[in-house]
Chains A and B, each alone.
Chain A
Amino acid sequence: MKIFLAVFVVLLLGSTSSWAVLGEYGNSVASDQQHMHAQLREVVRQGYSVKQLSSADGRMVREYVSPAGLVFGVSWQGPTMPDLRQLLGSYFGQLQQASQSRRQRHGPLVVQTKDFVLVSGGHMRSFRGRAYVPSLLPANVSAEVVQ
C-alpha cells in the first residue's frame, strides 16, 4: 500500500508539493495521509489547485491551494468526522469558540465571521463540511469552489 501510494503521488503531483493546513504554506501532514491510509491526488484548476485525500471507507478530505501554495479552504465528507484541529490549524480556535459559546442547538454548525467561514453537518455514518478564509481566496476565485 505504501509503495503504491508513493508511486501514485509522484505520478499525480510530479513534484515535492506537500499537504498543508488552512491558512498556511506547505506544512506536511503526511501523518494524516498515513492515518487515513489515503490516496492523494491533485487537480489543477483555473487559479488554484485541489489536493484530495480519499480512503477506502469513503472518507475524503480536500484542500484548496493558491498558486503561491497557501491553503485557503478545506472540505471533508465521510462516515466519521476528520481531525479538524489538524485541518484548520490556527483557525481551530475560532471553531472551538463558536461551537462552545452557541446556544443549545441540535443540528449543523455554521460559523460565519468576516475572516472565517465553516459549516459542519450530517449525521453518524455521513458527515460533511467545509471551511475557508475569505481574505485568502486567490484573485478571481470564488469561495464556491470549496466544496
Chain B
Amino acid sequence: MNLRNGSSVRLSVFAAATAAVLALAGCGGSSGSSSSSGSTPVNNTQAVEVNVGPANNYVNGLFTDVTICVPGSSNCQTIPNVLVDSGSEGLRLLSSQVTLSLPAITDNSSNGLQECSGFADGSYVWGPVVGADIQIAGEKASSVPIQMISASPPFPVPSQCTSGGGQDENTVTSLGANGVLGIGNFQQDCGSACTSTSTAPPMYYLCPNSVCQITTVPLLYQLQNPVWMFPQDNNGVLISLPSIAAGGAQTVSGSLIFGIGTQSDNALGSAQVYTTDTSGDFQTTYNSIAYSQSYIDSGSDSIYFLDSATLGIPDCSDYAGWYCPSSTVNYTATNTGLNGTTGPVSFSIANTDALFSGNGGTNAAFNNLGGDSGTSPSTDYFDFGMPFFYGRNVFIGIENETGPNGVVGPYWAY
C-alpha cells in the first residue's frame, strides 16, 4: 500500500468525522444556497478601506474587519485589517492575531487538517484548518473551515509547499495584512480536484506521526468563500469604490455589499454581465490580439498587462515589474465574456516612481499603477487589479449561484 492509498482509506471516513467534530462545536448546518426571497433584509453592507495596511507597506490594499466566533457561540473576536481578495476563496487569518480557541477539523484519528495555499507570485501560507462562524456586516456563515496561518505551525512546512519559490507569508509584515478574505468567483478554494486521490494537488495535508501527506478533502471541509454560505445575499458580492485623483490618495473608503440583486442596494443597474470560463478567466483584446486568460482581481495591486517591450514603455529601474513611462499613457482594451458580452475598458498608466514619491510618499491608493504580466505577447494577459475598481461598481458572481435575470456564476458585472 502506498501513501496515497493510505490517505484515501483514512479519508473515506473523513467526512463523517469532520461532520461530527463540527456538529459538536454547534454547527447549525445552514449552508444556505437559497435566495433571500421572503426573509427579512439584513445589513448587507460592510465598510472597506484602501490604505497602507497594518504593516504600513501595502499599495492598493483593500481592507476590512472580519468577526469570527467559536461555532455556535457568542465567543467572538473581530480581526481588523483583513485583505479583501477577489482572486482567492476562503478566510485565512494569521494565528498570531487570533485569541479564540477554534475547533480543529480532523479525521477520525484526530489528525488535524493542514493546508498549504500557494499564490501566483510563488509565496504561500501554511497552517491548520479550523472551524469558525464568520460574521461580516449583518451576514453570518456558520461553521466555516478557515485557515490559521502559522509562524510556528504544529507541523513543519512540507517541501512541496515551498516549491513556488516565494516566501512564507506568516507575519503581518510579510503578508501586509492580518489575514485574507477570499471572496472570488468560486465556492471553495480547491473544488472537485481536491476530492479525488487521482487529482488532489499539494494543498491539503494530514500529518499522522508528524509525517505530512497530501489528502483529499470533501468540498464542504475545504476552505469556503463564506458568501455562498450566508442564509441570504449569498449569490455574490458588489465592491463599490469612488473615483480618485490621478495623483493617488492616502485612503479610499468604500463598500463591500453582499448579494447581487437581492436588496435595493445591490441591483445590477447598468452593469453588464461578463461570464467567465471555469477558471474564472475571460478574454481581453488589445491591438487586435486576444488574451484569453485575463481576469479581475482585487488582490492585485496594479493593472498587470502585456509587457514593457510590447507596449514600448520602460519598466522602472528601481521597482522591477512596474511601468515607468515618461508621461501618463492612456489605453483602451476590450473585454469579452464567455456569454458574448463585450465592452471597452479605458485606463491610464502613470510613472510608478512619480506615484510613489508624490504627496511625500504617503499615498496608498492609485488608479493608474501598472506593470508587466509577462515578457512577450504569447503568454501575456490582463490582470485588472485594484486600479480597475476605483469609480466602479464591480459585481462578482459565485459559481453555481443564480443572479439577476437567471445568470449563473461564475461571472463579473460592471
Distance, CA A57 to CA B60, complexed state (A): 33
Query: Does A123 contact B199, Cβ atoms closer than 8 Å?
Result: no
The reply to whether A106 and B293 contact each other, CB–CB distance below 8 Å, is no
Residues of B within 8 A of A112 (CB): 375
Check if A114 is an interface residue, CB within 8 A of chain B.
no
Closest residue of chain B to A75, judged by CB?
A: B379
Docked complex Cα distance between A135 and B279 (Å): 34
Q: Compute the total of residue contacts between A and B using a CB distance below 8 Å.
A: 186
Q: Do A81 and B118 have beta carbons less than 8 Å apart?
A: yes
* Chain B 148-184 per-residue mask, 1 if CB under 8 angstroms from chain A, else 0: 0000000000011011111100000000100000101
Answer whether A107 and B198 are a contact pair too, CB < 8 Å, given A75-B379, A81-B164: no
**Is there an interface contact between B304 and A104, defined as CB atoms closer than 8 Å?**
no
* A105-B163 contact, Cβ under 8 Å, with A75-B379, A147-B378: no
Verify A103–B198 contact, CB threshold 8 A: no
Measured between alpha carbons, how far is A79 from B159 in the docked complex, in Å?
Answer: 19
A96 to B163, CA, bound (A): 9
A111 to B270, CA, bound (A): 41
Q: How far is A128 from B119 in the complex, measured between Cα atoms in Å?
A: 11
Contact code string A127-147 (vs B, CB < 8 Å = 1, else 0): 111100000000000011011
* Complex: A43 Cα to B119 Cα, angstroms: 31
The verdict on A13 contacting chain B, using a C-beta distance below 8 Å, is no
Stretch at the interface among A14-22, A64-72, A83-91: A83-91
| Contact present for B372 and A79 (CB under 8 Å) | no
Max count, chain A CB within 10 A of own CB: residue among B120, B199, B301: B120
Q: Which residue on B lies nearest to A87, using beta carbons?
A: B163
Residue of B nearest to A83 (CB): B163
Q: At the interface, yes or no: B1 with Cβ under 8 Å from chain A?
A: no
Closest to A109 in B: B121
Contacts of A58 in B (CB 8 A): 193, 279
A3 is an interface residue with CB less than 8 A from chain B: no
One of A1, A99, A128, A147 near B121 (C-beta < 8 A): A99
Q: A80-B202, A107-B300, A107-B302 are in contact. Are A122 and B162 (CB under 8 A)?
A: no
Q: How far is the CA of A122 from the CA of B380 in the complex (A)?
A: 11
Most buried by B among A82, A92, A125: A125
A124 within 8 A of B: yes
Contact B120 A120 (CB under 8 A): yes
Report the bound CA distance from A128 to B169 in whole Å: 21
Known: A99-B165, A100-B166. A83 touches B297 (CB 8 A): no
- The answer to whether B35 has its CB under 8 Å from any CB of chain A is no
The answer to whether B57 has its CB under 8 Å from any CB of chain A is yes
Contact B165 A92 (CB under 8 A): yes
In the bound complex, do residue B87 and residue A123 qualify as a contact, i.e. CB atoms below 8 Å apart? yes
Report the separation of the CA atoms of residues A123 and B185 in the bound assembly, to the nearest whole angstrom: 11
Complex CA–CA separation, A99 to B168 (angstroms): 11
Q: Which residue of A lies closest to B193 (CB)?
A: A57
A84 contacts B122, CB within 8 Å? yes
C-beta contact mask, B286-303 vs A, less than 8 Å → 1, else 0?
000000010101011110
Assembly CA distance A96 to B164 (angstroms)? 8
Q: Is the CB of B301 within 8 A of A126?
A: no
Residues in chain B near residue A100, CB distance under 8 A: 165-167
CB proximity of B106 to chain A, nearest CB, Å: 23
Pair A106/B301 contact, Cβ less than 8 Å: yes
Check A56/B191 contact, CB under 8 A, given A99-B122, A125-B280. Answer: no
Knowing A84-B164, A100-B167, A108-B373 touch, does A120 contact B122 (C-beta < 8 A)?
A: yes
A105 pairs with B301, CB closer than 8 A? yes
Contact call B371/A107, Cβ cutoff below 8 A: yes
Other than A56-B198, A106-B121, give 6 A-B pairs with Cβ distance below 8 A: A55-B199, A99-B164, A106-B60, A106-B299, A109-B121, A121-B374
Query: B residues bordering A, Cβ < 8 Å?
Result: 57-61, 87-89, 117-123, 159-160, 162-167, 176, 182, 184-186, 189-193, 196, 198-199, 201-203, 279-281, 293, 295, 297, 299-302, 304, 307, 319-322, 371-376, 378-379, 381, 383, 385
